[in-house]
Each structure stands twice: as structure tokens, then as C-alpha cells.
Amino acid sequence: MSDPTRVTAAVLIIGNEILSGRTKDANLAFLGTELNLLGIQLLEARVVADIEVEIIDALDACRAKYDYVFTTGGIGPTHDDITSACVAKAFGQKLIRHPEAERILRERMTQMGVEATEARLKMAETPEFAELVDNPVSGAPGFRVENVYVMAGIPRIMQAMFEGAKPHLKRGVILLSVTVGSFVPEGQIATELSLLQDAYPDMDIGSYPFFFDGKPGSNLVLRGPDQARLDEAAGRLGDLIRNLGQEPVEGGVEVPKSAD
């Protein structure tokens, strides 16, 4: 990571329910979008089961490789919530009942009129040198250890925690994007597109085919740090599309989800 403008991240989604198909993950797309707005490039995501060795291996691989790791899931009160213990092990820290987290939880439980069970207080457990991440939705905080942010799996709680973490994150250069769509199918524009990519190595050009209104087409996404360069490349792309007898659509052709 010698380039100071480049900040990278991985997301680690923890939970059997995502792998069994029971629950559709909604956190990855949210984090990808949000991190991008901060100039943090999400380069990898992993989904692992509630198995200690798997969680620790994935954590260790990702925290060594990326500037940040964001985990979701496995921090509730039940026996299958083992994320906090795994993070403690990965960092070689003791798992403690965090005094401030306990205070927050007990206050919340008093407010809600629920009993402070041992299980509920398990949600105050963190690695010994963790820093709490506020949870305005349901009380039980997330936490950070070094470059790893540990967040809930429930989307609205995860999102609230991420809001709390945001001000503390190092930001890099923001990748902007311009989308140009048309009813030119990928196979017809691929060669020119590849030449355009070669001419603009400072951006990533992605091609996303669709079939809509009885016709094939593609949305072409240019991503890079420099708006003027993106606009210039998008202009050339528009010309290519017109040369192929179609009209470019700025922002891309909007297609129903099922046709994407």
C-alpha cells in the first residue's frame, strides 16, 4: 500500500444463514456503495460459516492484505454468535466484558424493562483492547480492533454502526463513474472497448450486458479518479456507439432487475 491515495477494504460476512440461502445478504452492496463514496476501494468479500477456524483464517488473511476489514454478523447473544471471540483470538487478545459496553447494555435493558441475562451481557464482550462503535438502534455496540470493524448482521443496525465508524476512516481518492448505455450488444463493441481501455489505463471500463424490450444491449461503466478524463472517454464511447448505428444513453439504459 505505497500509494497514499489508495485505501482498500474487505468485507467479511459471517453466518451459516447466508450460505444456506435462508437469508439474502444485503450488507455487501450497501458497504460497497458507501466505501466507494469515501474513496475506500472494496476489493474482496468473503462469506464464512459460524466456524471458529474459518472465521479466524479469513480475518487474518484479509486484515493483513487490506487497510480495513468490516465484519458483519455473529455478535448477538446466542451460542452461534462467535465473532467477538474469534476476533480476540485472531489478535491474540483476551475476550473481556467491556465495562463501557456493559454500562450501555444495562442502561438499555433497564429502559426496555428486560432482564440483564448472562446471554444479553455476552453482547458486551469484546477483545480487551477494542474501541466501541456506537449502536443507536439497539444498544449493543460494535467495536474496532486495529483495522478490523466488527458490526451487526441486521442491515439497519449494521448501517447505523457504519455511520458511527465513518468519521474515523482514512479516506483515499474517490473513484467517480460515468455510465453510457445503448442497444449495442457487447459482442459488437467489445474490440473497440478493449482498445478504449488500453487508451485509458487510468480507468476501469466494465461492460454489463442486458436483454430488454426484445433487444440485447450493454451498459458500459467507466470508473476512475478524474471526471474530465471520464467525460472524455465517455465522449469517445458515444461516438463508437453512434458509428454502430445506435444512440448512446447517458447514465445507462435503465432495465428492470430481471433483465440485467
**53 forms part of the interface with its own copies (CB under 8 A):** no
What would the grid cell of residue 84 be? 467477538
**76 forms part of the interface with its own copies (CB under 8 A):** yes
Among 30, 60, 226, 249, binds its own copies (CB under 8 A): 30
* Residue among 93 and 159 whose Cβ is closer to its own copies: 159
**32 forms part of the interface with its own copies (CB under 8 A):** yes
Residues 120-159, one symbol each (x = binds its own copies by CB under 8 A, - = not), give x-xx------------------------------x-x---
Among 23, 110, 227, 243, binds its own copies (CB under 8 A): 23
Sign of the torsion angle spanned by Cα atoms 90, 93, 97, 103: negative
Strands (E) in the chain, as ranges, are: 7-14, 40-48, 68-72, 95-97, 125-127, 131-133, 142-145, 148-151, 176-182, 204-212, 215-224, 249-250
CA dihedral of 42, 48, 50, 55, whole degrees rounded to 10: -70
Residues 6 or more apart in contact with residue 250 via CB below 8 angstroms: 179, 180, 234
Contact 69, 14 (CB under 8 A): no
**229 forms part of the interface with its own copies (CB under 8 A):** no
Among 197, 229, 244, 249, binds its own copies (CB under 8 A): 197
**What is the binding site for its own copies (CB under 8 A)?**
16-25, 28-34, 36, 42-50, 54, 76-81, 114-115, 117-120, 122-123, 154, 156, 177, 185-191, 193-194, 197, 204-209, 221, 223, 258, 260
